[in-house]
Each structure stands twice: as structure tokens, then as C-alpha cells.
């Protein structure tokens, strides 16, 4: 299944403008573009010259932003034993959930649930996996809609970062470690989109894996609904310090890698070239 890219240039422009608190008038003053031209860009009308001019005041990488506008890039396919993605429809969007397991022991963890877990449960039974825990990246409704369905199937504990202030599971502090068989899970705080967002960094498969919720997307990131500045900064510190071959498993859109995001993600110009 090829999951579509979550954000294109107009989404990126909108997230950056809202995050920086810039109005169309302020952007017009800084770029020399008319408010009409800016509005067209925000509605998805691609003009390369306009997009390049918008990149500066929005603190975005111009080349990466143009590539997003051209819609020519897609991340390399990920085929990793011990990792499976499940993409379900939630309202007018799709949302991801993941299963990670130790191929040697069959011990597995579920990471978020998506809108419903039927296909995931069938996959788990078909692989004869033993679900030990359900891990939540953040508690926005699209990521936890099927928690009851999963818990009813496996009677497993649910773990949620303490910053989410949730009652759906056991809270923990960032930095707490978990294990699935021989796999080691490190938890890192990646907040800004959600107050207590957690990324789960997993070692023990043939490639390192980071399940990041809405902290980072292929070629984009989740909106800074709580704090845009902190969403950027925690991504830089917690995710972009991971090895380049780390598989990034986002809450929306296709899987990608840290190395690819350094090259193509407009929100992080400091990693280019």
C-alpha cells in the first residue's frame, strides 16, 4: 500500500505562517508579493518564483519547498522485518498505526491505533505475535480511536507520556525504557504539536526505527498546535540527532528516514548542503 504524502507546499506555508504568527499583510511587506498572490499560494496555486520568495520570511528551505510544490519526491520504500504500518480512514484524512515485533521471540508492541484496528488484529493473529503493550504517541482522537478494541483483544497495558495528562493508560516520564524481546525502546519527548508527544526510538531490528506520531512527516511536520517553536526544537534535538538510516514512522503519510528528511524537509534548512 502506497500511503500518499500528507502535506504539500500550501500546507507547509500555512503551518509556518501560523506558527510564526505572520499575517498575509506582514508576509506581503517582507516579500513584495500581493496579498492575492499569497492567498493563491496558500490555496495550492504553485508559482515557483512566489514560493521561493515566501520561503525566506517563513524560515523555510526554498529548494525543498519548491520540490514540495512540484510533487516529484516520494520517500524510499521501507521493507523491514519486524515493522508493519496500518493506514485507516478517519474523517477526511488517513492515520497510521504500527506494529513492531522481535522476529526471534514474536513479542510485539502496538504504536497508536488509528481509526480502527481490524486489519492490524488480523495481521497480528496471522503472524502469531504476542502483544505485550500498546504505546501512544499522543492522545489526539485519530491516534487513539481504537484503544478499547485493542485492549479488549489483548488485555495489554497502555502507555502514554505524562505530558498528555490522559486517563486512558499508564503515564510515564520521557526517558523511560521498554523492551519487546531483545528490542530496546527509548522514549523521547517531541512536543509542540501535542503537549506531551512521545517518540519511540527502537533498536534491535536491521535498521533503527523512530515512531514519531505527528512530530515529523515525510517532507513536513505536524502543526505546532501547542508551540511551533518547541515542535521545531524538539524535532531537532530528539529526532535529527538519530542515525540517518533511522526509519521514521509518522502518524500521517508514508514512512521516511532521518537522512531523507535532512535533505527534503523545508522546515529544517540547517541540515541542507
- pLDDT tens profile 36-82: 999 999 999 999 999 999 999 999 999 999 999 999 999 999 999 99
- Same domain for 16 and 98? no
User: Quick one: 180 and 237 in the same domain?
Assistant: yes
Residues 58 and 130 grouped into a single domain: no
* pLDDT, tens only, 130-182: 999 999 999 999 999 999 999 999 999 999 999 999 999 999 999 999 999 99
CATH number at residue 177: 3.60.15.10
Instruction: Give the domain range for residue 25.
Output: 9-70
Q: Are residues 133 and 58 both part of a single domain?
A: no
Q: Residue 4: inside a domain, yes or no?
A: no
Distance of alpha carbon 209 from its chain centroid, rounded? 12
User: Looking at the structure, do residues 40 and 167 belong to the same domain, yes or no?
Assistant: no
Pairing status of strand 158-161 against strand 183-189: unpaired
Q: Whole-angstrom Cα distance, residue 96 to residue 265? A: 20
| 3-state secondary structure (DSSP) of residue 93 | strand
Q: List helix spans (H) across the chain.
A: 9-20, 24-31, 35-42, 48-55, 62-70, 118-127, 141-144, 147-154, 228-234, 258-264
Same domain? 155 vs 60: no
- The domain tally of the chain equals 2
Which of 70, 105, 123 marks a domain boundary?
A: 70
Contact 217, 6 (CB under 8 A): yes
**pLDDT tens per residue across span 191-224:** 999 999 999 999 999 999 999 999 999 999 999 9
The phi, psi pair for 237, rounded to 5°, reads -80, -40
d(CA 187, CA 178): 8
Report the SS3 class of residue 47: coil
| CA gap 215, 220 in Å, rounded | 9
pLDDT value at 1 more than 90 = no
The CATH code of the domain that includes 38 is 1.10.260.40
- Residue 62 neighbours by CB under 8 Å, 6+ apart: 51, 52, 55, 56
**Shared-domain flag, residues 109 and 197:** yes
Whether 145 maps to a domain, the answer reads yes
Residue 139 sits in the same domain as residue 44: no
Indicate whether 237 belongs to any domain.
yes
Q: Tell me the three cell numbers of residue 138.
A: 499522543
Q: Is 238 helix (H, G, I), strand (E, B) or coil?
A: helix
Q: Is 235 left (phi over 0), alpha (psi -120 to 50) or beta?
A: alpha
Amino acid at each position: 500500500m502506497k500511503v500518499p504524502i500528507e502535506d504539500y507546499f500550501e500546507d507547509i506555508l500555512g503551518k509556518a505562517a501560523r506558527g510564526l504568527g505572520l499575517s498575509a499583510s506582514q508576509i506581503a511587506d517582507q516579500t513584495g508579493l500581493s496579498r492575492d498572490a499569497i492567498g493563491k499560494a496558500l490555496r495550492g496555486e504553485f508559482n515557483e518564483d512566489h514560493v521561493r520568495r515566501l520561503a525566506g520570511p517563513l524560515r523555510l528551505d526554498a529548494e525543498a519547498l519548491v520540490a514540495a510544490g512540484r510533487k516529484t519526491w516520494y520517500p524510499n520504500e521501507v521493507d523491514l522485518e519486524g515493522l508493519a504500518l496500518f493506514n485507516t480512514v478517519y474523517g477526511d484524512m488517513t492515520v497510521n498505526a504500527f506494529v513492531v515485533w522481535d522476529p526471534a521471540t514474536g513479542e510485539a508492541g502496538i504504536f497508536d491505533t488509528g481509526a480502527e484496528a481490524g486489519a492490524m488484529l488480523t495481521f497480528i493473529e496471522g503472524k502469531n505475535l504476542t502483544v505485550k503493550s500498546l504505546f501512544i504517541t499522543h492522545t489526539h482522537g485519530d491516534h487513539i480511536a481504537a484503544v478499547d478494541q485493542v485492549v479488549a483483544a489483548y488485555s495489554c497495558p497502555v502507555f502514554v507520556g505524562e505530558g498528555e495528562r490522559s486517563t486512558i493508560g499508564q503515564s510515564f516520564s520521557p526517558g523511560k525504557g521498554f523492551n519487546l524481546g531483545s528490542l530496546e525502546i527509548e522514549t523521547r519527548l517531541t512536543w509542540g504539536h501535542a503537549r506531551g508527544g512521545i517518540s519511540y526510538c527502537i533498536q534491535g531490528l536491521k535498521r533503527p526505527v523512530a515512531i514519531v506520531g505527528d512530530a515529523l512527516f515525510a517532507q513536513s511536520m505536524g502543526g505546532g498546535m501547542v508551540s511551533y517553536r518547541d515542535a521545531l526544537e524538539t524535532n531537532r534535538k530528539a529526532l535529527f540527532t538519530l542515525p540517518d538510516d533511522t526509519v521514521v514512522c509518522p502518524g500521517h503519510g508514508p514512512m521516511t528516514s532521518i537522512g531523507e528528511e535532512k535533505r527534503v524537509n523545508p522546515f529544517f534548512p540547517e541540515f541542507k548542503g
